[in-house]
Structure 1
Amino acid sequence: MTELRDAALASKAWPFEEARRVLKRYAKAAPEKGYVLFETGYGPSGLPHIGTFGEVARTTMVRRAFELISDIPTKLICFSDDMDGLRKVPGNVPNQEQMKEDLNLPLTKVRDPFGTHDSFGAHNNARLNAFLDSYGFEYEFASATEYYKSGKFDEALLKALHEFDKIMEIMLPTLGKERQETYSPFLPVSPKTGHVLQVPTLERNLEKGTIVYEEPDGERVEVPVTGGNVKLQWKPDWGMRWAALGVDYEMFGKDLIPSAELSSKICRVLGTQPPELFNYELFLDEEGQKISKSKGNGLSMEEWLTYAAPESLSYFMYQKPKTAKRLYFDVIPKAVDEYHQQLRAYPGQDLKAQLNNPVFHIHGGDVPASDMVVPFSMLLNLASASSAEDKATMWGFIGKYAPDATPETHPGMDAAARYAVRYFNDFVKPEKVYRAPDVQELAALEDLVAALKSPEAALEQIAKKNAVMGNDEPLPEADYGDEDFLQSIVFAVGKNHGFEPLRDWFKAIYEVCLGASQGPRFGGFIALYGVDETIALIEKALAGELG
């Protein structure tokens, strides 16, 4: 354990770097509350999405890293801002007219348009909990409504009342002139309508702990700032929450940097050190535009998980969080294959390399073995060549390539076969464009077929290539079950036909035979698909029967 901790303390993996920042807060003494608190925030005016997953997954990685370098207990709170007033009706929910009637009510008072829970907030909170539970996250759920009404925030709210002027000094310069005239950090919950009101604070009574405001009908009303009678505007609310709970670490999107700076100032005004903050870059769509829930651009979490396992999404989230990443369908196969490459590499790595390996952080150190005997990108090309409509077709080839593998012994491989068929039919198949070979390509493909049919022809191609390259090494044994031998045939044919660069030869194979401009290591593809099947595929392509 000492060796592991020492290595973790020196590791340059970003979760350990973040964990060390948190540990510095308690270099002199452990926290009075008895634990280090990590927090993620959730706005339940919408359903959980890929950003929610990323934030909880990344925060969990930092929390686990912290637990390796410190004996201080930790907690992760997933905080739902469910006391916010409903300002607009989401476009992706039913009962739109009913929702319009409930505008400005706290989300936990808005009727559930789905009819399954006591409120829209409760519905989305349940979705959040189910969502987080399904991925095995360890967390405590926190509801703003419950925290405000139970009095958990009362002390901090009274402190905010006392520091009203300082909070206003922080907030007003960030607002337009018209907004400055009506702004108050306190949003009273109307005892008449239940609405969360955005109205000025007219009077403050520090001894009584109350504010006075004016209802829309002109009546002046005095309410306590405690007990759930008011809610803070979200930036003061964020800073107040940090102060009240003693939050030690929180991450957020780059677009919230100005808000986090204001909330940090407010947290200090309330007498507490703000948490260690980490801002991550935003996700972009294929065109480089920021992903927006309202626009519906980019890739949703549900879409990713239709075509790949959640571990591949965690891998994508781990990679360079400070770098903007394009999040669209084409990134899925690469993420899946890189994730499994890291799984396979992990057992042979030394401790330093293991701590820098993304799979250590994805799995909290309990790293499973990969059972992917065939790369995902290869499965896609297999689906393309075989026009697979179900995973049983895929297993017909996988079983010949890896006789010891079955759906029962290799569940990850089985799931990947299912995902590959879906991905192929939804994204690859509609985009397939075959072309006829040119004269050079035609001659090379004919020679490739001949070499796949005859060991003598294959060895002749390899010998010719060796002579051209000045290579006097002995010829390999002709083994059509060996993907390296098959690859050497393909390589030799390309060299002998003068393809320069050689990648043009492989590109030609993909475009003529698979209808795509890129593909797998072709020797491996032949081994998986079958020599006879590959011969038939090339002959169909040359006969113009694939387009």
Structure 2
Amino acid sequence: MSDLRDAAMSSKAWPFEEARRVLKRYQKQPPEKGYVLFQTGYGPSGLPHIGTFGEVARTTMVKRAFEVISDIPTKLISFSDDLDGMRKVPGNVPNAASLEEHLQKPLTAVPDPFGTHESFGHHNNAKLRSFLDTFGFEYEFISAKEFYESGQFDEILKRAVEKYDEIMAVMLKSLREERASTYSIFLPIHPETGRVLYVPMKNVDAENYTITFDDEEGKEWTIPVTGGNVKFQWKPDFGARWAALGVDFEMFGKDHSTNAPIYDQICRILGWRAPEHFTFELFLDENGQKISKTSGNGVSIDEWLTYASSESLAYFMYLKPKTAKRMHFDVIPKAVDEYHQQLRAYETQDTKARLNNPVFHIHGHNVPTSDMVVPFSMLLNMASVSSAEDKETLWGFIRRYASEASPENNPTLDDAVGFAVRYYHDFVKPAKTYRAPTDQEREALSDLATALSSEEAALAAIAAKNAKMGRDDPLPEADFSDPEFLQAIVFAIGKLKEFEPLRDWFTAIYEVLLGASQGPRFGGFIALYGVEETIALIESALAGEFTK
């Protein structure tokens, strides 16, 4: 364990770097509350999206890294601001028009447009929790509605009344004059309409812990700040939550970075040391636009899990969190294959390398073994050329390529086969665009078919390539079941036909034979699809059957 901890203390993996910053908070003495608290926030104004999951996944990675370098207990809280008023009706929900009359009501007072839960806020909270539970996160869920109404926030609310002028001074510096004239850190919930009100305060009473204000109709009200009658504005809410719970670490998107000093100041005013922060770049859709819960652009959690495993999603979340990433369906196959590459690498790595491997931060000490004997990208191409309608079609190819593989022995591969069929029909098939070969490509493809037809022709092509390159390499053993031998044949034809750069030859193969702009290592494709089947595929393409 000491060797592991020593390696972790010098690891450059970003979760360990963050964990070490958290540990510095308690160099002198452990936390009085008995644990280090990690928190993530969720605004349930729309359905949970991948960015929401990413915050929990990445925070869990830091928490797990902390547990390697320290024996201090940890806790992760997922806090939902479900008392927030609904500012606009989301565009991606059913019965949207029915929600118009509930604008500015707390999300937990807005009817559920899906008709499955007590409110819209409850529905979205349940969606988030369901996914986090499915993935196996260890967390405690806190609802703002329950937190305010149960009195758990009362002490901080009272302290905010006592420190009202000091907190307001912090806030007013960040506001334009027009906004500052009507601003208050408190948002009263109207005693009659239940709406969250954005109104200035006429009086803040530090003796009775009440606020006085006029509602939108001009009627004056005086209500206590405790018991769920009032909620914080969103910027003060950050600092207040940190102070109320004793938060030690929270990450958030780049769009919060300019406000982080405000959150910190308010937290300190309310009596708690500001937590450690980690700012990540935002997720973008395929058009480069920020992913939004309310607009529903980009890829949702459910959509990713329709086409790939949750582990591949966690892998995508681990990669370069400080770099903006486009979040669209085309990234899924790459994430799946890279995740399994890292699983295979982990088996032979030493401790230092393992701590830098993304799969450690996804799985901790229980990293599984990959049973993906065929890459996901290859499965997609198999589905494409075979127009696969079901899993059994692909398993027919897999069994010929790896006779020991089966759905029972390779459950992850079996899941991937199902994902590949689904992904092919939804994304690959509609986008398939074949083109006719150029004269150079036609000759090369014809020569490739010839080279695949016999051992003599294959070895002759490889020998001719060696001679053309001025090399005297010994010829390989002819084995048409070996992906490397098949790749050597493909490579030889490309060199003999003088494709420059050589990748133009492989691009031609993909575009003419597969109807795609990119594809797998073609030797592996031939081994999986079959030599005779590949020859037939080439002949069909040369006959113009794909471009009719």
1:194 shift after superposition: 2.2
**Cα deviation 1:71-118 (Å, max 9, x = unaligned):** 111110100111112222223334445422322222222233333332
Counterpart AA for 1:205:
D
Return the alpha-carbon distance in structure 2 between the equivalents of residues 192 and 495 of structure 1: 80
**2:419 maps to which residue?**
419
Return the alpha-carbon distance in structure 1 between the equivalents of residues 265 and 273 of structure 2: 9
1:468 shift after superposition: 1.8
Counterpart AA for 1:182:
T
Return the alpha-carbon distance in structure 1 between the equivalents of residues 442 and 193 of structure 2: 78
Return the alpha-carbon distance in structure 2 between the equivalents of residues 518 and 112 of structure 1: 44
Return the alpha-carbon distance in structure 2 between the equivalents of residues 114 and 451 of structure 1: 60
Return the alpha-carbon distance in structure 2 between the equivalents of residues 107 and 510 of structure 1: 50
Q: Report the secondary structure of 1:459's partner residue.
A: helix
Kept after mapping to 2: 8 A contact 1:214/1:220: yes
1:356 shift after superposition: 0.3
Q: Report the secondary structure of 1:108's partner residue.
A: helix
**2:6 maps to which residue?**
6
Q: Is 1:162–2:172 an aligned residue pair? A: no
**1:187 maps to which residue?**
187
**Structure 1 pair 295/46, CA: closer, same or farther in 2 (3 Å)?**
closer
Kept after mapping to 1: 8 A contact 2:92/2:294: no
**1:153 maps to which residue?**
153
Q: Report the secondary structure of 1:453's partner residue.
A: coil
TM-score normalized with structure 1 length? 0.97
Counterpart AA for 1:69:
I
1:441 shift after superposition: 2.1
Q: Is 1:117–2:121 an aligned residue pair? A: no
**2:136 maps to which residue?**
136
**1:311 maps to which residue?**
311
Counterpart AA for 1:208:
N
Return the alpha-carbon distance in structure 2 between the equivalents of residues 509 and 152 of structure 1: 64
**Structure 1 pair 262/489, CA: closer, same or farther in 2 (3 Å)?**
same
**2:497 maps to which residue?**
497
**Structure 1 pair 178/422, CA: closer, same or farther in 2 (3 Å)?**
same
**1:58 maps to which residue?**
58
1:298 shift after superposition: 2.4
**1:287 maps to which residue?**
287
RMSD of aligned C-alpha atoms? 1.5
Return the alpha-carbon distance in structure 2 between the equivalents of residues 99 and 50 of structure 1: 25
Return the alpha-carbon distance in structure 2 between the equivalents of residues 147 and 72 of structure 1: 26
TM-score normalized with structure 2 length? 0.97
**2:127 maps to which residue?**
127
Q: Report the secondary structure of 1:187's partner residue.
A: strand
**Structure 1 pair 303/97, CA: closer, same or farther in 2 (3 Å)?**
closer
Return the alpha-carbon distance in structure 1 between the equivalents of residues 106 and 191 of structure 2: 13
**1:401 maps to which residue?**
401
Spell out the pairing of 1:361-510 with structure 2 (5 A cutoff): 361-510=361-510
**1:39 maps to which residue?**
39
Stretch of structure 1 that moved more, 90-99 or 199-208: 90-99
1:19 shift after superposition: 0.4
Instruction: Give the gaps of 5 or more residues in structure 2.
Output: none
**Structure 1 pair 286/124, CA: closer, same or farther in 2 (3 Å)?**
closer
Kept after mapping to 1: 8 A contact 2:55/2:252: yes
Return the alpha-carbon distance in structure 2 between the equivalents of residues 87 and 296 of structure 1: 16
Kept after mapping to 2: 8 A contact 1:400/1:528: yes
Q: Report the secondary structure of 1:352's partner residue.
A: helix
**Cα deviation 1:194-251 (Å, max 9, x = unaligned):** 2222221111221212222223343322222112121111111111110111000001
Return the alpha-carbon distance in structure 1 between the equivalents of residues 108 and 497 of structure 2: 71
Return the alpha-carbon distance in structure 2 between the equivalents of residues 545 and 110 of structure 1: 57
**Cα deviation 1:43-82 (Å, max 9, x = unaligned):** 1221211111101000000000001111111110100111
Q: Is 1:172–2:172 an aligned residue pair? A: yes
Return the alpha-carbon distance in structure 2 between the equivalents of residues 393 and 347 of structure 1: 31
Counterpart AA for 2:151:
G
**Cα deviation 1:469-525 (Å, max 9, x = unaligned):** 222232222111111111111112222222222222222222221122322111111
**2:326 maps to which residue?**
326
**Cα deviation 1:118-167 (Å, max 9, x = unaligned):** 22222222222212111111100101111112211111111111111111
**Cα deviation 1:323-345 (Å, max 9, x = unaligned):** 01111122111111111100000
Counterpart AA for 2:134:
S
